[in-house]
Amino acid sequence: MAALWTLPLLSAHLSGCLALTPSEEPPQPHSLSPSLGGNSSDSGLSVDQPMALRVFSVDYHHVQAPFEIVLWIMLASLAKLGFHWSGRVPAVVPESCVLIMVGLLVGGVIYGVRHSAPPTLSADAFFLFLLPPIVLDAGYFLPGRLFFENLGTILWYAVLGTLWNVLGIGLSLYGVCLLAPGSLGDVSLLHCLLFGSLIAAVDPVAVLSVFQEMHVNDQLHILVFGESLLNDAVTVVLYKLFESFLRLPSVSGLDVLLGGCRVVVVGLGGLFVGLFFGLLAALTSRFTSKAQVIAPLFVFLYSYLSYLTSEMLHLSGIMAIVTCAVTMKQYVEANVSERSNTSIQYFLKMWSSVSETLIFIFLGVSTIQDVHMWSWPFVGSTLLLCLLWRATGVLLLTAVVNKLRRNSVTFRDQFIIAYGGLRGAICFSLVFLIDDFPKKRLFITTTIVVILFTVFVQGMTIKPLVELLDVKRKKRAQPTVSEEIHSRLIDHLLAGIEDVVGYWGQHYWKDKFEQFNKKYLRRFLIREDHQARSSILRVYQELERREQRADEEATPIVDPRSHSRPLLPEEMDSIRRILSRNLHNFNNKQTPAYSRHTLHQDATGARTRRPLHGHHSLGDRRTYNTITHWPQQVEDEEFSDPHRGRVGLSRSHTVCSASPRSVLPVSAQTGGQDPNGEEEDQQSPVERVPRKHLSFVLENEKQQ
């Protein structure tokens, strides 16, 4: 439904953004003759009248923009479909590499046919239409527990690490330009810092497409993904800051101070805008019980509105849409039905997948251009400096943050974090926004080379390196209810310990937020009939939704046993004999049982005990006792006897033995019984059903 209303906007805007060649002269509508109902006042216009009525005509210009957009989406989807049906290719080459190669091929064909540059992906089309669904999908399905437990480390990498890379690459490139004054002498310091801010942007699209195929451990995945997600917000802010400095006649110390304040305002402003729209979306979803059809629409509208509002106010749109998605998720899922949750999940996955595919296709198409300028010192230095500064930044920042973390980041994980800094469409779109100056084409060429190198070389070699370094992988099994409850119990214990010792750690603040959320937010934002009365029930519902998403995303596994042959009669007899022999050997074992009071084996444990007998019929029932050996009566008076009650419930360290329950006649029940009966086998009135052999019925015998 949302795709229907976004398509007219997309077609209207992308007709100019994609640089599609319009027609030179749109066709003029034919004027009607007076005899056909035309206006007689227009008869003075000299317009050629058609000689006859046309049975068939083509008006391509009327549908040019939406038609070409649909064709591009169709091409991208078919390329993605062919990738997953290409046999062993997905195990060797990442999906992003194949899509870029398809884009290069399409761009080369267009360039060869038209002898002009193919259509390019403009920055407005990327930032307004293609990037928001990818970030929304990443924020809505963000693992909240892992993200907030590692939030300090993620911010440490995203903020300080990005500043380290931007300043290091920019200043180093300016030094390279000073060493080559002949070809790079007209590149200023601010231009180098501007280029450093865009080339340091780690693209979450490329990172997600590669790391989701490797299934690395949760900590490494959330560190790389969270750093790349927040890294974009920081790099876009720094890019706009240096762009503003370039437009000033001179930069003073006050301008630098105001620029630092602007970075903080842009980041926090986007955070508060996303928080406001997230709470508003949760409140709106509370009143959708009578119109569940439109409930998923509010998720997309409010999140996209938060992004557009932040861009309008020159705030961080990425921070806004991520905050909005994280804020509204738990309340929206509690308010809407399961079908609406499924619709939200499928539409977000579909929307983000199409956007990712289009981005990589246009990265390849846009590479075929006439605007390239080559400089070996600048291009080679940029590649080397990107790897060097990111590696040193990760090593230095991790050395500091490991002193504050309980679970330290290992050297193998540090290597994958440094090596996984893939560049993508973020820096490609930002480089085209640079104001025209003599070396802009050099910046474009260098950016394309860095993107292709990181996606192809690093993206294709990171999976073998993960296997070579034996990096810890992700657990495929979903956590059970018991594991989740024990995890929350440990969280409560740690929060209590932190409260007792007076330490305000993450568990303390997490517990305070849970109390505030349960006392105020959930009561205000969730309908009363959908509020779980028990926290265990809420955990179970969350695990059910998580397991459903995992089952729907997982590939179906064919059970090889479904095509196996039935067992032969001699094989079934052999299995029956093995089971009977093993169970008989198990029953003959005399295993002492210990209580919590007596952990040592008493001397009474060495007495000769009767082994636990095997299977008996229903008439030969047995009661198990740890002290006595006489048969117990079935009547209720045996439970009233205090001695026998203690005997039946005590857990001593003796060997468990079994005594047969006798089937007594009426006269024997009324006449009483000797409580000291040592020889229960000699009781004359007892009629015992003979013991039967062990019998097993297999499943295929039941079916027969």
- Tell me, what DSSP letter sits at residue 624? E
d(CA 260, CA 460): 38
The pLDDT confidence band at residue 531, using thresholds 50, 70 and 90, is: low
Geometric angle at alpha carbon 521, from 519 and 524, rounded to 5°: 100
Q: How many CA atoms lie within 13 A of 554 on its CB side?
A: 13
Question: Residue 108 above 80 pLDDT?
Answer: yes
d(CA 141, CA 325): 8
d(CA 648, CA 651): 9
Question: Residue 685 above 60 pLDDT?
Answer: no
Question: Residue 170 above 90 pLDDT?
Answer: yes
Q: Are 662 and 620 in contact (CB under 8 A)?
A: no
DSSP state string for 234-264: HHHHHHHHHHHHHHSS---HHHHHHHHHHHH
Residue 687: burial class (beta carbons within 10 Å; 0-12, 13-18, 19+): exposed
Q: Residue 622: its pLDDT value, please? A: 44
Helical pair 506-516 and 481-501, crossing angle rounded to 10 deg: 110
* Tens digits of residue pLDDT in 234-279: 999 999 999 999 999 888 989 999 999 999 999 999 999 999 999 9
d(CA 541, CA 550): 14
What residues contact 659, with CB distance under 8 A and at least 6 apart? 622, 623, 624, 625, 628, 629, 630, 631, 632, 680
Two tokens at 285? 């979803």
- Class of the domain covering 123-358+371-454+462-469: mainly alpha
- Give the chain's mean pLDDT: 76
Q: Residue 285: its pLDDT value, please? A: 93
81-98 burial string, b = 16+ CB within 10 Å, else e?
A: eebeeeeeeeeebbbbbb
Average pLDDT over residues 578-598: 59
What residues contact 678, with CB distance under 8 A and at least 6 apart? none
Q: Residue 229: its pLDDT value, please? A: 86
Q: Residue 381: its pLDDT value, please? A: 95
Two tokens at 136? 């929304």
Q: Residue 549: its pLDDT value, please? A: 62
The pLDDT confidence band at residue 608, using thresholds 50, 70 and 90, is: very low
Q: Are 255 and 245 in contact (CB under 8 A)?
A: yes
Q: Residue 137: its pLDDT value, please? A: 92
Question: Residue 658 above 90 pLDDT?
Answer: no
Q: How many CA atoms lie within 13 A of 298 on its CB side?
A: 26
The pLDDT confidence band at residue 15, using thresholds 50, 70 and 90, is: very low
Q: Residue 537: its pLDDT value, please? A: 64
Nearest by Cα to 193 from 242, 125, 143:
242
Q: Of 131-140, 355-364, 417-426, 531-540, which range is least confident?
A: 531-540
The identity of residue 111, as a single letter, is Y
Q: Residue 377: its pLDDT value, please? A: 92
CA distances 133 to 306, 354, 446, 638, Å, are 12, 9, 28, 71
Which long-range contacts link 344-350 to residues 24+ away (Cβ below 8 Å)? Answer: 344/140, 344/296, 344/299, 345/141, 345/549, 345/552, 347/2, 347/296, 347/300, 348/133, 348/136, 348/137, 348/140, 348/141, 349/137
d(CA 98, CA 103): 9
7 versus 245: the higher-pLDDT residue is: 245
Q: Residue 206: its pLDDT value, please? A: 75
The pLDDT confidence band at residue 186, using thresholds 50, 70 and 90, is: confident
Average pLDDT over residues 154-164: 94
Host H or E run for residue 659: strand 657-660
Q: Residue 506: its pLDDT value, please? A: 82
Q: Residue 371: its pLDDT value, please? A: 74
Q: Residue 32: its pLDDT value, please? A: 38
Average pLDDT over residues 580-590: 64
What residues contact 173, with CB distance under 8 A and at least 6 apart? 187, 192, 195, 196, 378, 381, 382, 385
Q: Residue 368: its pLDDT value, please? A: 87
d(CA 307, CA 321): 5
Average pLDDT over residues 309-326: 94
Average pLDDT over residues 10-19: 46
* Tens digits of residue pLDDT in 73-103: 898 889 888 888 887 788 788 888 889 999 9
Average pLDDT over residues 630-659: 41
Domain ranges in the chain are 123-358+371-454+462-469
The pLDDT confidence band at residue 370, using thresholds 50, 70 and 90, is: confident
270-290 burial string, b = 16+ CB within 10 Å, else e?
A: bbebbbbbbbbbbbbbbebee
* Tens digits of residue pLDDT in 449-496: 999 999 999 988 988 888 888 888 876 666 676 777 788 788 888 888
The answer, as to whether pTM is greater than 0.75, is: no
